[in-house]
Amino acid sequence: MSFVERLRAERDLPDEELKTLLETDRFDEELHKTADEVRQSVYGKAVYLRGLIEFTNYCKNDCYYCGIRKSNKAERYRLTKRQILDCCAQGYALGYKTFVLQGGEDPFFTDDVLCDVIAAIRSLYSDCAITLSIGERSEESYRLFFESGANRFLLRHETADENHYSVLHPAVMSLSNRKQCLFNLKEIGYQVGTGFMVGSPYQTTRNIISDLRFMQSLSPDMIGIGPFIPAKGTPFESFPNGSVELTLRLISVLRLMFPHALIPATTALGTLHPQGRELGLKAGANVVMPNLSPVEYRGKYSIYNNKICTGEESAQCKDCLKRRIESAGYEISDSVGNVKRETVK
Ligand code: SF4
């Protein structure tokens, strides 16, 4: 059996074999084809749309790679509850069944303020999923958000290696807290997503294998990976982009290791390659995240350089993605797109 066939059958390989698989393009064709077969066996040709609402670019943290870190000069904004609800109304009219509230770690959005927004969305759109992507909070806060109606949470761990984590983040941030947040979210009952940047500064193949091992211990419902793209004004602004090829290879590896995961073809992939998202879908991804933020704010959510989809109205964004999804041979699903969990026999 080839490496790829064994990865498909066992959903795992020893570290050395994973290393070989990740460090060569020799297996790419077989990897992508096999990952697509596995994706189709679980999710068919469906692609789920998640309407992304970037509601604040204030952040109290200073992650060295991030364009909206607190030390970076950026024109800051916060959406009001009314603006957020307007985004949801637009998204709902376009057929989106998931709203992703994404923002920096902004102290303005206390538990009370956020719970009020979440509850308002929940009461208006009982058939939709509400996903939060707002960083680290206490277990109690996560519980309050869940009780208010949020049901999914995205929190990329970014790197599962302690040393590498300390290279990418200031000392006040801790990998163990981040991991604990992810386990707390699972315990509360969220569908949980994690992920990491591919090609972040000083990342090694061993680091990536640690990421895969950590995810095996977490068993996430969603896994988001995208190539690292430097952000102007940050300590890593002169570092090279991550590799599109390696990102696609990893999407396929993830699909084989986690056949039921929801995996987005990320905007970062589309930023580095004109067909990046289509290639992501063909490599095993099954989610795309069209932007629903008001156009006048999109350029300000500049977590990395040259981010695409900042100038189009939401409806244009949807048309563009529909064309891309269909040209890659897949179809938009109008379902809420929950994770399909494996039935334990
Ligand atoms: S990566 Fe997230 S937590 Fe870190 S500075 Fe950027 S927005 Fe804040």
Instruction: Please report, for the domain that includes residue 63, its CATH number.
Output: 3.20.20.70
Residue 340 lies in a domain: no
**Atom in ligand 1 nearest the alpha carbon of residue 65:** 1
Of 68, 172, 177, which is best to mutate to test ligand 1, by the most ligand atoms within 8 angstroms of its C-beta?
68
Residue 229, domain member (yes or no): yes
Number of domains in the chain: 1
pLDDT tens-digit map of 5-26: 999 999 999 999 999 999 999 9
Range of the domain at 127: 3-333
Q: How far is the CA of 104 from the centre of ligand 1 (A)?
A: 5
DSSP 8-state secondary structure symbol assigned to residue 308: S
Predicted pLDDT at 338: 95
Residue 345 in domain = no
98-131 pLDDT, tens digit each: 999 999 999 999 999 999 999 999 999 999 999 9
Our mutation pick for probing the ligand 1 site, out of 66, 72, 158, counting the most ligand atoms within 8 A of Cβ, is 66
For 231-273, how does the pLDDT look when each residue is reduced to its tens digit (9 = 90+)? 999 999 999 999 999 999 999 999 999 999 999 999 999 999 9
Backbone angles phi, psi at 51, to 5 degrees: -80, 115
Confidence check: pLDDT of 306 > 70: yes
pLDDT at site 343: 72
pTM comes to: 0.97
Give the distance (Å) from ligand 1 centre to CA of residue 206: 24
Inside any domain, residue 217: yes
Q: What percent of the chain stands above pLDDT 70? A: 99
Mean of the per-residue pLDDT values for the chain? 96
Pair of tokens at residue 313: 């109205």
Residue 135, ligand 1, Cβ within 6 A:
yes
What confidence tens digit (pLDDT) does each residue in 203-230 have? 999 999 999 999 999 999 999 999 999 9
298 CB-side CA count, 13 A? 20
Phi, psi of 90 (to 5 degrees): -60, -45
Does residue 341 lie in a domain region? no
The pLDDT of residue 345: 54
Tell me how far the alpha carbon of residue 93 lies from the centroid of ligand 1, in angstroms. 31
Residue 166 pLDDT greater than 90, yes or no: yes
pLDDT bracket for residue 96 (50, 70, 90): very high
Would you say the CB of residue 181 lies under 6 angstroms from ligand 1?
no
Q: Which residues have a Cβ under 8 Å from the Cβ of 44 and sit 6 or more positions away?
A: none
Q: Is 178 close to ligand 1, i.e. is its CB under 6 Å away?
A: no
Asked if residue 119 belongs to a domain, the reply is yes
Within-domain flag for 219 = yes
Q: List, for residues 169-213, the tens digit of each pLDDT value.
A: 999 999 999 999 999 999 999 999 999 999 999 999 999 999 999
Q: Would residue 338 count as lying in a domain?
A: no
pLDDT class for 344, splitting at 50, 70, 90?
low
Instruction: Give 11 Cα–ligand 1 centroid separation in angstroms.
Output: 32
CA distances to 49, 52, 218 from 338, rounded to whole Å, are 11, 16, 18
